[in-house]
A and B are shown apart, each in its own frame.
Chain A
Amino acid sequence: MINLFQATISSQPFASPLLASPEALFYGFLKVIFVVGALLYLIFAVLIIRQVGLMSRTIVTGPSALLKTLVLAHFFVAGVVFLFFTFIL
């Protein structure tokens, strides 16, 4: 039984090129880290937008509009980076 299992394993070619070499495995792992990091950052960017909403409702002041634009731009950049890490990296 064990021999049969070992034979099956050894005769099977690797299903994914990612597993073909340790190098490809490492870069695959690195990509996952980048994508997860970018996703977490995107969530952080959303939280900042909500935070500015709360802050500008608390203190009504002229530059709030400017700060809102800044955090929206930040969210947009975070989104683009997430897409870059997911699809191009």
Chain B
Amino acid sequence: MPEIFDSGDLQGDLKTKKENSPAKVSPKSKKEKSNHWHRHVDDYSNVMRSEKATEDHFSWYIPKPKRMSFSEQEQDEHLILVLRQHPITQLKWFLLAVVLSIMPFLFITTGMFNFLPDRFYLAGFIGWYLLVAGYVIEALLKWFYNVYIITDERIVDVDFHSLLSRNISSAKIDKIEDVTAITTGFLAAVFDYGKVEIQTAAEKREFEFGGIPNPNRVATLINELLLEEELEKVEGRVR
């Protein structure tokens, strides 16, 4: 297994999963087997060849992420690309938070609540900014953890719709039938973000990676993975 994939060195749940796995193989034989079955992504992907492995997990475009994994990841599965929505798509909640932060000062200027005693004034201020903080934290968490993952085996869409609700859908690369990159609008053209629609023959028929950076590169990468998957079948390298 190439050294570049540190995501194989997992922590937490996956580590436990690995330890509990019934079919244990020695590290050496596992390495040999992996070399036999899978080529390194740089060997077949022009898109990934130019990308460096990264540890910047706050980014919205994370190629070959190091020290990152997800709960449903399989033993020999490697993360190739992790995507979040482009920050420009988060402008709405950010601007709303700024406006909400300014509002108490407008109330002071207009003197709307001057009839209230000071202690209630202070309490109102504190309560208001606490609400704004809660809104920002919630939006930030949603942005950070709603990710699209492309591995050498499948595409995964991790969604946290609301508090405590999680939805993880995935489709094997070989089930992908059509990939379309769409960029619409002025901001999308300037900041190079858009959506990638993926039609599959899997249970979930359509995936949409919305608001992601570099949609054309992502679509190209998926097509390269699809080709590699076909090649694996032809050469008998299918797991």
Contact surface of A with B, Cβ cutoff 8 Å:
27, 30, 34, 37-38, 41, 44-45, 47-48, 50-52, 54-63, 67, 70-71, 74, 77-78, 81, 84-85, 88-89
Contact = CB atoms under 8 A, between A and B. Distances in A.
A60 B141 contact: no
B145 A59 contact: yes
Contacts, number: 94
Secondary structure dominating the interface of A:
helix
B118 to A, nearest CB: 11
A37 B12 contact: no
Contacts of A74: 133-134, 137
B69 interface: yes
A48 B141 contact: yes
Given A50-B164, A55-B141, A59-B145, A44 B134 contact: yes
Given A44-B134, A60-B12, A51 B141 contact: yes
B56 to A, nearest CB: 9
Given A41-B134, A51-B141, A89-B120, 19 more contacts: A34-B127, A38-B127, A48-B134, A48-B163, A51-B163, A55-B141, A58-B166, A59-B145, A60-B12, A60-B69, A61-B57, A61-B68, A67-B144, A70-B137, A78-B130, A81-B126, A84-B123, A85-B123, A88-B119
B115 to A, nearest CB: 10
Interface of B: 10-14, 55, 57-58, 67-71, 117, 119-120, 123, 126-127, 130-131, 133-134, 137-138, 141, 144-145, 147, 158, 160, 163-164, 166, 168
Contacts of B55: 62
Contact of B137 (A54, A62, A71): A71
Contacts of B67: 61-62
Contacts of A45: 134
Nearest to B66: A62
Nearest to A38: B127
A37 B131 CA distance: 10
Contacts of B119: 88-89
